[in-house]
Amino acid sequence: MAADHDAYFEEVEARFENALDFDLGLEEEFHVLDPETLELTPGFEALRDAAGERLHGRIAGELLRSEIEVSTPRTLHFGQASKQLLLNRAELFALADREGYALGATGTHPFSAWKDQQIIDTPHYRLVEDRLKYVAWRNNTWAAHVHVGVRGCNRAVAVCDALRTYLPHLLALSANSPFIEGVWTQLHSARTQTFSRMFPRCGIPDVFGTWAAHRGFYEELIDTNCIQEFTQVWWSVRPHHRFGTVEVRVCDAQTEAWQSLAISALTVGLIAHLARVYDEGMPLPILPTRYVEENLWRAIRYGMDGKLVDWAMGEELPASDAIRHLIEISAPQADALGLTPHLESVERMVREGNGAQQQVKAHLEGETLTEVFAGTVRRAHAISLQEIADRQEDQP
């Protein structure tokens, strides 16, 4: 074993052994748009450079110059994280207004061409483009990621192994990308089909069972020049080496903040539930990848309009019933972690329809793809700027 492997993994393992259970950070990705045409436009650097000190420290690039990511600081309570996410949106949308941009928040852009987009000019993203070429160029997708602290290396791997079972459920709930490149795809998450079916080392990971197996695989990838750093493994759930968290990456970007918070709360609740099951020495709901992939395809294709398979029972369930089951198993952790009001919002999403369902409904009622997208942009903008007004009213 190379000495540099030892030094690297000693740091990673120390992060997990010292992690705080269920502290969390939330990441959201947004389209950068021309406010007149709503086409994607290369404005990342301008927004980053014009941001105030607090927002500047939370902004990151995400491959495209027409995309911007903003993250919350790590907090110990979901209520704190929710306030920070609302603050991020309020400040980011106000910044975009000042700098002459609009922002969008769906999993794909419905009509901008991938050929027109530009890669951020940094060493990291030049390397990504050099290694992936067409795959990187086509990745015009926007997601929401959730980081949750899980103490202990083996425990974090066990939680990741088990959470694979529920990734299709989280995708079905979050699906918000039925349109791409001027086409109604008839999928509910064209983002997932575009990203996870093209990128290497992506989608549903295998079951590892132990940290040693996880570590050994990464060492092999590095030794054989498959990857240069751990972030080049883009699985839908992974132990995050830099943060000592379980990172969930399966969800589409959400148009409205309450939707993003609902999905994030359910994710945190599931991780807390699985960690408790592990601590009690009970069997975790670990499925072979082939079974998870069957449900993932159903989530991509039908979202909340479809059914998911309960493999333990050997039967199909409406996606809404499957999601309600996840709310039930998350409930025991909800009050202590500050999840309760946001789990109630999950039920609201099930009743009212998620982003994909609402976009398709508007299109079937006669709106063009441009009109449907304009409606999502207006909603995201109005709600985010209302947060500014609410904060100002709360100040003495």
User: pLDDT of the chain along its 396 residues, tens only?
Assistant: 345 788 999 999 999 999 999 999 999 999 999 999 999 999 999 999 999 999 999 999 989 999 999 999 999 999 999 999 999 999 999 999 999 999 999 999 999 999 999 999 988 898 899 999 999 999 999 999 999 999 999 999 999 999 999 999 999 999 999 999 999 999 999 999 999 989 999 999 999 999 999 999 999 999 999 998 899 999 999 999 999 999 999 999 999 999 999 999 999 999 999 999 999 999 999 999 999 999 999 999 999 999 999 999 999 999 999 999 999 999 999 999 999 999 999 999 999 999 999 999 999 999 999 999 999 999 999 887 776 556 545 544
Residue 296 exposed, middle or buried by CB count within 10 Å (0-12, 13-18, 19+): buried
Reading the block at residue 382, the tokens are 């109005």
What local confidence, expressed as pLDDT, does residue 1 receive? 37
Find where tokens 């990172």 sit.
Answer: 247
Q: Which single residue is written with the structure tokens 């398979």?
A: 309
HSE-CB of 373 using CA atoms within 13 angstroms = 31
Q: Provide the pLDDT for residue 396.
A: 40
Report how far apart, in Å, the C-alpha atoms of 15 and of each of 18, 151, 241 are: 5, 8, 8
Asked if residues 58 and 74 have their Cβ atoms less than 8 Å apart, the reply is no
| Closest-CA residue to 173 (of 309, 346, 340) | 346
Could you write out the DSSP letters of every residue in 259-326?
HHHHHHHHHHHHHHHHHHHHHTTPPP----HHHHHHHHHHHHHHGGGSEEEETTTTEEEEHHHHHHHH
Give residue 395's pLDDT. Answer: 45
What is the rounded CA–CA span in Å between residue 339 and residue 336? Answer: 8
| Amino acid letter, 263 | I
Chain centroid offset of residue 185 CA: 21
Q: How far apart are CA 65 and CA 278, in angstroms?
A: 42
How confident is the model at residue 123, as a pLDDT?
87
What number of other Cβ atoms are within 10 A of residue 293's Cβ? 16
Torsion of CA 372, 378, 383, 389, to 10 degrees: -170
pLDDT at 389: 56
Q: Residue 150: which of 286, 283, 14, 18 has the closest Cα?
A: 18
The dotted CATH code for 3-394 is 3.30.590.20
Model pTM score: 0.95
